[in-house]
Amino acid sequence: MKRTHYCGDLRDSHVGQTVQLCGWVWHWRDHGGVVFIDLRDRTGHSQLVFDPTADAELHRRASALRSEFCIGITGTVRPRPEGTVNPKLPTGQVEVVVTELHVYSESETPPFPIDEHLDVGEDVRLKYRYLDMRRPALRDALLFRSRCANTVRNYFNQNGFVEVETPILSKSTPEGARDFLVPSRISPGEFFALPQSPQLYKQLCMIGGLDRYFQIVKCFRDEDQRADRQPEFTQIDVEMAFIEPEDIYQIMEGLMTTLWKDLLGVELKTPFPRMPYWDAMERYGCDRPDVRFGMELRDVGDIGAESEFQVFRSIVQNEGKISGICVKGGASFSRKEIDDLTKEASIYGAKGLAWMKHGESGLESNIVKFFSEGLQQKLIERFGSEQGDLLLFVADEPSVVYAALAHLRLHIAEQKQLFDPNEDKFLWVVDFPLYEKDDEGNPTPSHHPFTHPHPEDLDLFETAPLKIRALAYDLVLNGLELGGGSIRIHRRDLQYRMFKTLGIDEQQAQEKFGFLLDAFRFGPPPHGGIAFGFDRMVMLMMRLRNIREVIAFPKNQRAQAVMEGAPSGVEASQLKELGLRVKA
């Protein structure tokens, strides 16, 4: 039996045609006489009709069909009788009168219903992923993802990019996330690492003269999971030679515009706004601000220092920071609501949350008495506060202040519906610092050690390395990082200055990244690139909240594949061949 149509495609125009359909029995409605079967494939479903007066034997066999039997049929498309048309369904104008029925295979009763009306526990869905895939939600996500990937490939092909496959068995590099390791049989005691990203390979492709590279590629990071993180995930990886940041912005804005137009029917406005890193931190408390709403942070360290409030004064004296946000209409928050906010702030290390309500006669709270009339007026002006608003303050070391207020801002905005959930606001965050302090206070690359410093800041290497800006950029959508990249260093002398600040001498550098440094001896072009979280992007486009909803076979929270049972133990002989011994 050869399929002639997909179940979801039948329309008025097919009336009178003999068709052959294949698929799974979705719902069946047995009226004693006539039997209806909804036959489903990945495109949708059509109604099959079995009439006992037409073919008693066929009708008897149809009555025995059950959920998820896999069948094929031959039949004739006819318009539904008047009054039985179902306008809710794309195929609701017609039905198929079946003349032949073939059961490819029967099915046990599925462990959960194959429809969209019920949220099923994710552990069961993962165990029977192939059944979950028959459900419209996951099916549509995977189809959508496929179309995205197709659009991405077309876009880069049309713009002169070369798709290059880089190795999965690669070399472990000391920086960054934990590596997944693969033992080598031929070199006992030695290991490949799965790539955290094809970073060095794509730079080598630029040195190799490919000029424009892209790849939709798996990356692996052995870190703890989150709703938007998987141990193996997919990146849209891009690198270009002879370019400046503007070229990257333009190419990637073009990609986003194309994707949003082709897949969502939305016209995005370009160029996307750009915001320096320190602006983002000061105004939003994080490097990936959600700019769909205001409620921006304001520094009030100066006012706190002048106040009589000891908590604030001592924090300013100890090089701490005081910032706040103004919640419009927040004066109506109950004591409990403010307590809850305090709890939310404490997740990010804030030891307290100071607040003032803007009432009829000015600011009110248990700490207002420590602020003179003049200081209160300054606060009101700084936040543009009006009667009915609520001011919230966090005073702590800067990283805590930023993190706590950034979270409160998002938390309140979500709670109070302060933004349109259907709006998409893109933003480039630029001028990231080249270095940040590690746990011991030493400079460590905030992006990676091949990031090009801002040309205006080269004098700072020896005097104030932490103040050097990088030619690095992130693309942020609605408060989530879609991707990031940088212009790379292409001169060995600059690369060694970079390493020197990191405390890496020439010999160590050679050991770690020798192959790249060697390549830099042979005329490397100026180059740079970017990488996008593909899963995350598809998730955001579909307004989903979990990355697993757009991945065919994801790992669970504990990075396990529950369906196939991975990871798992292996045969002793396999270990022996690899020269490995597992500690009991």
For the segment 137-166, give every residue that binds RNA (CB under 7 A).
Answer: none
Q: Which of 67, 76, 129 is nearest to 98 (CA)?
A: 76
Task: Give the residue with the Cβ less far from RNA, 304 or 485.
Answer: 485
Residues 543-572 that bind RNA (CB under 7 A): 546, 548, 556-558, 560, 562
- What's the rounded Cα separation, in Å, for the pair 433 and 582? 43
Q: Judged by CB under 7 A, does residue 577 bind RNA?
A: no
Assess contact for 214 and 161: CB atoms under 8 A.
yes
Q: Judged by CB under 7 A, does residue 75 bind RNA?
A: no
Residues 22-41 that bind RNA (CB under 7 A): 27, 29-34, 36, 38
Assess contact for 320 and 404: CB atoms under 8 A.
no
Cα separation of the two ends of the chain: 56
> What x/- string results for residues 237 through 276 when contact with RNA is judged by CB under 7 A?
----------------------------------------
Q: Please tell me what DSSP assigns to residue 338.
A: H
- C-alpha distances out from residue 579 to 172, 181, 184, 186, Å: 19, 14, 9, 10
Please state the three-class secondary structure of 407-436 as a single string: HHHHHHHHHCCCCCCCCCCEEEEECCECEE
Q: Judged by CB under 7 A, does residue 329 bind RNA?
A: no
Residues 279-298 that bind RNA (CB under 7 A): none
Assess contact for 85 and 95: CB atoms under 8 A.
no
Q: Judged by CB under 7 A, does residue 51 bind RNA?
A: yes
Q: Which of 467, 477, 430, 471 is nearest to 448 (CA)?
A: 471
Q: Judged by CB under 7 A, does residue 172 bind RNA?
A: no
Residues 183-212 that bind RNA (CB under 7 A): 196-197, 199
Assess contact for 71 and 65: CB atoms under 8 A.
yes
Omega before 567 cis (within 30°)?
A: yes
Q: Please tell me what DSSP assigns to residue 201.
A: H
- E strand spans, 147-270: 162-163, 181-183, 191-193, 212-220, 232-241
Q: Judged by CB under 7 A, does residue 107 bind RNA?
A: no
- What's the rounded Cα separation, in Å, for the pair 301 and 319? 10
Q: Judged by CB under 7 A, does residue 583 bind RNA?
A: no
Min dist. Cβ of residue 477 to RNA (A): 16
Residues 336-375 that bind RNA (CB under 7 A): 347-349
Instruction: Out of 2, 53, 186, 421, name the contact with RNA by CB under 7 A.
Output: 53
Instruction: Out of 12, 100, 223, 462, name the contact with RNA by CB under 7 A.
Output: 223
Q: Which stretch binds RNA (CB under 7 A): 82-90, 162-170, 333-341, 457-465?
A: 82-90
Tokens 């099959």 map to which residue? 48
- What's the rounded Cα separation, in Å, for the pair 180 and 232? 10
Q: Which stretch binds RNA (CB under 7 A): 112-120, 147-155, 330-338, 573-581?
A: 112-120
Q: Judged by CB under 7 A, does residue 109 bind RNA?
A: yes
Task: Give the residue with the Cβ less far from RNA, 49 or 489.
Answer: 49
Task: Give the residue with the Cβ less far from RNA, 118 or 582.
Answer: 118
Q: Which stretch binds RNA (CB under 7 A): 49-57, 236-244, 350-358, 532-540?
A: 49-57
Q: Please tell me what DSSP assigns to residue 30.
A: E
Instruction: Out of 19, 39, 71, 95, name the contact with RNA by CB under 7 A.
Output: 95
Q: In 10 A of CB 568, how many CB atoms?
A: 8
Task: Give the residue with the Cβ less far from RNA, 50 or 371.
Answer: 50
Min dist. Cβ of residue 562 to RNA (A): 7
Binding residues for RNA, rule CB under 7 A, total 73
Task: Give the residue with the Cβ less far from RNA, 52 or 362.
Answer: 52
Task: Give the residue with the Cβ less far from RNA, 27 or 378.
Answer: 27
Q: Judged by CB under 7 A, does residue 85 bind RNA?
A: yes
